[in-house]
Amino acid sequence: MSILAEISELVQKGKAKDVVTKVQEALDSGLSAQEILDNGLLHGMSLLGVRFKNNEVYVPEVLIAARALNRGTEVLKAKLLEEGVKPIGKVVIATVKGDLHDIGKNLVKMMLEGAGFSVIDLGTDVSESTIVDAVVEHKPNIVCLSALLTTTMNQQGVIIQALKEAGVRDLVKVMVGGAPVTQSFADQIGADAYTPDAATCAEVAKTFVL
Ligand code: B1M
């Protein structure tokens, strides 16, 4: 079995410690962080996602796998940060109110940091007032919003409205993403950008500050 297949399987089994060891081993063997992420860590979560959908595994198994995946991405992040880029801008990032999914958000954060942004992570289940307060306090260039549920994606629009009402909408770019979010939804709520994945998010974010 290839090392990437092993990582994928360890994520599905939720073996956080072993994931960390194998990710490090994969990096040492010369594989790129992107390859390990896409074909090891995320591959495992996507297979588990199918089993979750088919009711073959349940929330606890998925949570344990998510923790293992997050631990693995921390190892990759260390590698990206080794390159030591100076901050090129500031981002406030959050998963919206009612939504606890944070793997995608953490990946976006990691890619943004790798691209040279300093990132203030407000976590998950974040209300519009907390976002407004963070914009006022930290004066970021960009606000990044993640939503994974069809029931929470509308919250991205609520946040944009709250930024308008607080008079700070024009001070920031708002970027949105997450599995159910589309370009047409982003246009509809008045976001500045929609990107389908974390790497593209970091690329587009750079165009807003450089
Ligand atoms: Co949830 N869940 N979940 N879940 N979960 C989904 C999203 C679901 C599609 C599963 C399914 O039924 N097939 C479904 C949503 C259906 C829908 O609304 N359309 C679902 C559901 C229903 C639920 C619950 C309601 C289940 C329940 O309790 N009955 C519940 C809701 C809890 C809540 O949030 N209030 C729930 C709970 C959970 C867990 C807690 C068990 C766990 C989350 C753990 C965690 O995140 N710490 C979980 C997980 C892991 C998933 C799946 C399996 C995987 C999601 C994931 O992390 N993917 C997911 C099924 C699936 O997607 N296959 C599912 C990997 C991640 C890298 O992808 O987050 O999409 P993603 O990020 C991508 C892009 O979207 C993008 O970049 C990333 C790739 O580079 N991106 C951005 C994300 N944010 C971005 C922001 C940007 C730009 C790009 O700009 C700012």
| Residue range 70-129, pLDDT digits in tens | 899 889 887 766 644 457 899 999 999 999 999 999 889 877 876 778 999 999 999 999
Q: What is the pLDDT of residue 149?
A: 98
Collapsing DSSP to helix, strand or coil, 91 comes out as strand
pTM of the model: 0.87
For range 162-185, the mean pLDDT:
98
Whether 148 lines ligand 1, by a CB cut-off of 6 Å, is: yes
Q: What is the pLDDT of residues 43-80, one digit of tens each?
A: 998 899 889 888 999 988 988 998 998 899 889 887 76
Paired tokens of 108:
């976006």
Radius of gyration of the chain (CA): 17
Burial 13-49 (b: 16+ CB within 10 A, else e): bbbbebbbebbbebbeeebebeebbebbbbbbbeebe
Which of 8-12, 82-86, 152-156, 183-187 comes out lowest in average pLDDT?
82-86
Residue 176 Cβ contacting ligand 1 at under 6 Å: yes
Q: Coil, helix or strand for 61?
A: helix
pLDDT at 192: 98
| Ligand 1 contact, 160 CB (< 6 A) | no
**What are the E-state strand segments in the chain?**
89-95, 117-121, 142-146, 173-177, 193-194
Cα dihedral sign, 191-152-34-184: negative
Q: Where are the beta strands (DSSP E) in 24-139?
A: 89-95, 117-121
pLDDT for position 46: 82
* Amino acid present at 38: D
**DSSP assignment string, 160-182:** HHHHHHTT-GGGSEEEEESTT--
102 lines ligand 1 (CB under 6 A): yes
User: Would you place residue 186 in the very low, low, confident or very high pLDDT band (cuts 50, 70, 90)?
Assistant: very high
Q: What is the pLDDT of residue 114?
A: 65
Ligand 1, atom 14, lies closest to the CA of: 149
The per-residue pLDDT for 84 is 47
Average pLDDT over residues 131-156: 98
Q: How far is CA 137 from CA 59, 63, 92, 117, 180, in A?
A: 36, 32, 11, 17, 30
